[in-house]
Amino acid sequence: MKLTVSTWNINSVRLRIDQVKRFLKERRPDVLCLQETKCPNDKFPLKELQSFGYPFVVHMGQKGYNGVAILSRYPFSDTSVMEMCGRSDARHITVTLSPQAKAASGLVIHNFYVPAGGDIPDQNLNEKFRHKLQFMDELRSWGGRQKPTATPAILVGDLNVAPLEHDVWSHKQLLDVVSHTPVETAALEELRQEAGWVDAMRLLKPEPEKIYSWWSYRSPDWEAANKGRRLDHIWVSDNMKGALRSIDVSRETRGWERPSDHVPVTAVLEF
């Protein structure tokens, strides 16, 4: 049995509902995890998303900011959310696939949206950057306390950190830019390794291959400039890395009409 899991920071699910529909029609993942849905729960387009062939949907949102959701072809036996940093700001949701997922039954999928961190990489001057570092510290504590990789699990999301040298267009020029500063990259790699997560993209496509999943809206010609960063990730528990068959970035979606600045990342696993 093959299971396809995609993650995508959609940057407003209502504004880009047509892009979601197109992606689901063209790629047909079994599970799609969304971040930055920017939608309160009572305004979430649940029925429309279900009509695309994904009857099982969970979501957690708020007006104008953040928000996460998971769409699935398979039902869930359990769902949960965590508050991070003492805030109910809709940055996490977890599901467990039910026995109807057959060989994938019991697989736990964690969907996170890590704070971007603002523009100034100094936690003493920038509360948003301090919040980001605190969030990653709590994520590290959760990994050590809950042992999420002890059973088959996947962690996906916009983690807002490009951890490796070839995850950005220029390692040297971005060392003091939020998302690639040494304090962020070290924190992300430490929490990943300590909890036993495997970076699926770099397992199958190791450095020095350049890989990006985000291109700024500020670039007048993002495709020609190609100044991207790999901010969107799929991690698997060590006991799942043998199931990985492929992983890719849907770069073409960045060129769609009214696109998100992020593009989907999709992994195929075989059980």
Binding positions for Mg(2+) are: 9, 36, 158, 160, 261-262
Q: Among the options 30, 158, 167, 199, which is catalytic?
A: 158
Is residue 221 among the annotated active site residues?
no
Is residue 212 among the annotated active site residues?
no
Q: Among the options 59, 113, 212, 232, which is catalytic?
A: 113
Cα 91 to Cα 40, 54, 84, 151, 165, distances in angstroms: 13, 22, 8, 23, 27
* Residue bearing tokens 């805030």: 87
Q: Among the options 131, 180, 233, 262, which is catalytic?
A: 262
β-strand pairing of 265-270 with 244-249: antiparallel
The two tokens of residue 62 are 């708020």
- H or E element in which residue 6 lies: strand 2-9
Is residue 74 among the annotated active site residues?
no
In the annotated binding site, the residues are 9, 36, 158, 160, 261-262
DSSP state of 99: G
Contact 12, 163 (CB under 8 A): no
How many alpha carbons fall within 13 Å on the CB side of residue 184?
29
β-strand pairing of 108-113 with 153-158: parallel
**Rounded to an integer, what distance in angstroms lies between the CA atom of residue 128 and that of residue 117?**
5
Provide the annotated active-site residues.
113, 158, 262
